[in-house]
Every structure is written in structure tokens, then in C-alpha cells.
Chain A
Amino acid sequence: MTKKNIRKIKKYFFGYLFIAPAMIGFFVFMAWPMVNGIIMSFKKVGLKGTSEWVGLDNYTTLISDVHFLKAILNTGYYTLGIILLGVPLALVLAVILNQKLRGMTFYRLSYYLPVITMMIAVSVVWKGLLSTNNGLINYMISFLGISNIPWLTNPKWAMPGLILMSIWKGTGFNMIVFLGALQNIPKSYYEAATTDGANSLQKFTNITLPLISPAILFVMITTTINSFQIFEQAYVLTGGGPQEATTTIVYYIYQNTFEWFKPGYANAQATILFAMLLIITGIQFLLQKKWVHYE
């Protein structure tokens, strides 16, 4: 072996050595569980770890499982609520905050504070806030002439309760993303538009919106993907109830896995969830070609 070859092998070895810890973590705790999960979705796994092949049985059961359908609808409802209410709210806040204002730090701090807090802890707080009798939220909306809403205890109102809380928790993050994109727009564009006699609305639709469209896409993707994985809020606030009104996909997977011990079946659901996330991302990336302007 030539000296040059030895040096090359040494160099490669060095490279593999550096990425080794990350690759071990990746193979053992991410890639293998993912593959194994898909394999298990074609099996029936018993209590003692025994398993047998059942082909597509889990998937055919899934199609006719009304509870799973309900979980999908609930998750879709939640996601739609966040996308339709939370994302525009974040954009509006960002546009308002994108100017020289006194107290800017305070505003940013208070809008962003919920983002960093522990979901479980603030969910417990919201359980108190959303309480039907004498809860603070009901007290506050009573000034708007709305009488006591049975948040969390009524199937019709449980999901709106979760959405309300999640908007409070997540809007700050999206707002900051939008704000970052807004501040990236060169001032000269607006100055040029002003000289051309454009009004505020025209500036917003013709300059701001196209230029922040990558950020809008990013927020839509991450918000949808995160919303599809809603679990902790449902775990603490409602326990999936009442009458399965807040049983989300992940909550149902969790129940099937750890409460009813049907891991094979649960893995079929998890595989479907993963496929849905991939499709959503795919669709949104295709959409970006249509309406997102990259500079």
C-alpha cells in the first residue's frame, strides 16, 4: 500500500470518527425505530412481545375504525383553527410591531413569553382559566355579552378551548418569524413606491406580501406539521374527551399503544400519520412554486 493511500484512509477514518456519535444516535434511535414501526404495522404484537404477521389487517381495520376517523377530523379541525385564526393574527401583530415604537422590547417579550413556557404547566393554568363557573376567560367574555361557555366539558366547546390556548401559546413564535422577514425588506422599496404615489394597502399587497411569502410558507408548513401532532394540551386539559371531542391522532395512537396495548394497530396509525405529514409538506412545497417569490 502506498503512503498516499494510507494517508487517505487515515483521513476518511477521521471523518467517520467525528460523525460517529451522531450517526449512532440516528441509526439506533431514529432510523431503526422508524423502519421497525412500519414493519410492526403489518404485525399483531402480543403482550409478551410475541408477534405474528397479519398482512394488511391493521390497515383494513383502520379504514373502518370510526374512532380513528374521528381523531383525524378532530386534528383537522384543530389545525384549521390554528391556521385560520392564529397565523393571520401573528401576521397582523408583526406588521403592527414592524415600526419604531417605544416599549418595543416589552411588547415582544410579552407576546413571546408563552412560546418558551412548559406546555404541561401552562395547560394546567388554562384548565383553571377555562373553568365554566367563575373561570377568568368566561368572566372576561361576559363583558362582551357572552354568557358562560362550557369550555372543556362540552363536546362542542372543548376543541375551541384547546385552539384558544394553543393560539395564545404559539402566536408569538410565528409573529417573530414574520417580523424577521418584514425587517429584511429594504426600506428603499417602500420609498420608491411612495414616490410613485402608492397607498398603504397597495404597498402591503404589492411589496410586503410577495416579499414575505417565503416566511408565510414556512409558518404554514411548521404550524400544520406541529398542529397535526397536538397531544400534550389534550392530555392535560381534556384527556381526549368529552365524548372523544378532543381525541387527536397522536392521542389515539398513545391510547392504542400504552393504554389498550395494541402496538401493531397503533403503528399502522403512526405510519398513516407520517404519510399525511409527508403529503402536507409535499403539497405546500408544490404550492410555493405558484405563489412564493424568492429573491
Chain B
Amino acid sequence: MNNILYKRILKIATHVLLMTGALLMLVPFAWMISTCFKDINNVFTYPPNFIPEKITLDSFSRVFEIMDFGRYYLNNFIITFLRMFGLFFTATMAGYGFGRLEFPGKNFLFICLLGTMMIPIYVIMFPSFMIIKNFGWIDTYQALTIPQMLGAFGGAFSIFLLKQNFQSIPRELEEAAIIDGAGPIRLFWSIMLPQVKPAFAALAIFSFNGSWNDFIWPLIVTNSDKMKMLSLGIARFSSDKEGLTQWPEMMAASLMALLPVVILFIIAQKKFIENASQSGIKG
């Protein structure tokens, strides 16, 4: 009897602990959301209140007036989708090449490629800026998309993932297709490609999330306002003298910037968490 009581108390204590932690994690979001609906005079009140006395939606429309927020938002969508589709193409091709095809120097080239995962973008800030400058791409969409479409700056992991997936397809499937008279293109396109579909979800999530939140690359290769991505726009605005005082607008901008990824996360949370939890088991 005592044992059951003890277990129940332990369970309740666990819940209290976890719930407190969870609420603490959510507090910053709650503050952000509540600040959006306040006017500037009610942001830092004592004691803080999460439900404003007078609710106003002004901050959301003001964001579009005080900075070119619509343009940043559009840029984010354009750049993110271009990068995502480019990486799909590059990673699938390379994954198939390294996973299923034979050619001299294969292992060496693959190790080189994986080695780039060790190179952080911060280490090559200036030389990669110089490349973009020499191409005449500063302040263009090419600069913001083409390197990532070709798998640079973090794409190596996607290639690795696809390679693993292609490798795990049984030989028999390939042989049967060849006996049936499938050429190399058809073999790739209609036999092998459908087999790695599950990996695409992971790739899409990695790529979307990474691109959407990108900061350092636009910081390096763009300088005009119309080419800014969301994070850069928000960072610049928040460091302006003007921005320092406009908390409701800044929070509205942040909220809108976070929204697409949060929605994606809520829809595909299983996949997100699966990706993270597997990285440790493999590592």
C-alpha cells in the first residue's frame, strides 16, 4: 500500500517539475505574443502583465511601414524554396552516385565531401565573400541561393543521408529492373528514387529550417535593403536607435518571422524529433 502511495506522489512530483519547466520554456513566447498587442507605454509595466488592458493590433501593420517587412518575407520564401529544390536535386544525384554507382576515386571524393561538414561558414567568411564578389553576385539572388543549392554550407549531411538510403535498397530490386530492360535513367528515376522517399521528409525539414533562419550568409553577401532576408532585417532594425524603443513592432516582426517554421514543426513534429534523436544514436 505504501509503495503505491509513494509511486503516486513521485508521479505527481514529476508532473509538477516537468510542467514548471515546460511553462518556463514557453514564457518567452508568451511575452512576445502579449507584447505584440500592447502599445509601447504598457510593455514594461510593474508588475508585468501578460494580458494587456487595451488590446491593439497596430503593431502588425506598423511593421510593414517602418521596415520593408513584406519584401523580406517574400525573399525568405523565394530563397528558401530555391535552396530546398536545388538541394533535393544535388543531394539525390550525389547520394545515388556515391551510394549506387561505381567510378574511380569514389571513396576519396566522398570523404572530401564529408570533411567539409567540419568547416564552419564562420571560418571561411571572407574567402567565400570574395568568391561571390568575383562572380559579380553581391546583392543578388544567385549569391543567396546557388551555393546552398549545390550543397555548400551544410548540405553535406543531406548527401550523406541520401547515400545511406540508396545503399540500403536491396540489390535484387536493381537486378530485376535491369533484367526487365530498364536503362540507367529509368532505373534511377522510376525504380530507385521512389525507394528513398522517406528521406525526403527529413531533407525538406532540415533545408527549410536552415534556410528560413539563415543569418550569416545574407549578412555577408547582401547590402541593399531589398535583398535582405528576415533575420537580417530584424537584426538591423533592432539595432537602430529607432527600433530600440519600438518593442510591440519588433515582437510582431519576430512573431511573424517565427510562424512558418513553428507551423511546420507542429505539423511534422514527429519527423523533427526523429531527426534529432537519431543523430545521437548514429553519432
Closest to A249 in B: B122
* Interface-centre pick from B109, B262, B276 (highest chain A CB count, 10 A): B276
B75 contacts the other chain (CB 8 A): no
Residues on the A chain within 8 Å of B113, using CB: 22-23, 26
Q: Taking A111-B21, A118-B231, A235-B235 as contacts, is the C-beta distance between A19 and B97 under 8 angstroms?
A: yes
B17, B109, B123, B230: the one within 8 Å of A23 (CB): B109
Q: Is A69 an interface residue (CB 8 A)?
A: no
A15 proximity list for chain B (CB < 8 A): 97, 101-103, 106
Determine if A72 is an interface residue (Cβ-Cβ < 8 Å): no
When distances are taken between beta carbons in the complex, the residues of chain B under 8 Å from A266 are: 125-126
Instruction: Look across to chain B and name the residue whose beta carbon is closest to the beta carbon of A18.
Output: B97
Contact of A93 with B by CB under 8 A: yes
Per-residue CB contact flags for chain A residues 162-197 toward chain B (1 = under 8 Å, else 0) read 000000100011001111110110000000000000
Q: Quick check: A113 and B265 within 8 Å, CB to CB?
A: yes
Contact partners of A135 in chain B: CB under 8 A? 44
Tell me what chain B mostly uses at the interface: helix, strand, loop, or mixed.
helix
Which residues from chain A contact B276 at a C-beta distance below 8 Å? 112, 115, 173, 176-177, 180
**Contact partners of B266 in chain A: CB under 8 A:** 109
Contact of A113 among B96, B103, B239, B262 (CB under 8 A): B262
Looking at the complex, which one of B25, B126, B216 makes contact with A168 (CB distance below 8 Å)?
Answer: B25
Partner of B278, one of A25, A33, A180: A180
A94-112 contact mask (Cβ, 8 Å, vs B): 1 or 0: 0011010111011111111
> B107 in the interface, Cβ–Cβ < 8 Å?
no
Using Cβ atoms and an 8 Å threshold, which residues of chain B touch A274?
119-120, 123
Interface size range on A against B: 35 or more
The reply to whether the CB of A136 lies closer than 8 angstroms to some CB of chain B is yes
Tell yes or no: B173 within 8 A of A by CB. Answer: no
* Complex: chain A residue closest to B135, CB-CB: A28
Contacts of A258 in B (CB 8 A): 125, 220
Report, as a range, how many residues of chain B touch the other chain: 35 or more
The interface residues of chain B lying within 8 Å CB-to-CB of A129 are 27-28, 31
Question: Complex: how many Å from CA A203 to CA B45?
Answer: 49
Interface residue? A68 (CB, 8 A): no
Chain B residues within 8 Å of A111, by CB: 21-22, 25
Indicate whether A12 sits within 8 Å of B104 (C-beta atoms), given known contacts A34-B124, A125-B31, A231-B122.
Answer: yes
Partner of A117, one of B150, B258, B281: B258
Q: Does A218 contact B (CB under 8 A)?
A: yes
Minimum Cβ distance to chain B for residue A188 (Å): 19
A263 at the interface (CB under 8 A from B): yes
Query: How many angstroms between the C-alpha atoms of A253 and B269 in the bound complex?
Result: 36
In the complex, whether A239 has a CB less than 8 A from a CB of chain B is: yes
- Chain B residues 236 to 277 lying within 8 A of chain A, measured CB to CB, are 238-239, 247, 250-251, 253-254, 257-258, 261-262, 265-266, 269, 272-273, 276-277
Q: Mark B residues whose CB is within 8 Å of A.
A: 11, 14-15, 17-19, 21-23, 25-29, 31-32, 35, 43-48, 89-91, 93-94, 96-98, 101-104, 106, 109, 112-113, 116, 118-120, 122-131, 147, 149-153, 155-156, 159, 184, 209, 212-213, 215-216, 220, 230-232, 234-235, 238-239, 247, 250-251, 253-254, 257-258, 261-262, 265-266, 269, 272-273, 276-281, 283
Additional pairs, 18, CB under 8 Å, beyond known A117-B262, A125-B251, A139-B48: A12-B102, A14-B184, A15-B101, A19-B97, A23-B94, A25-B152, A36-B130, A113-B25, A116-B262, A120-B232, A124-B234, A124-B251, A124-B254, A125-B31, A125-B32, A177-B276, A217-B283, A253-B122
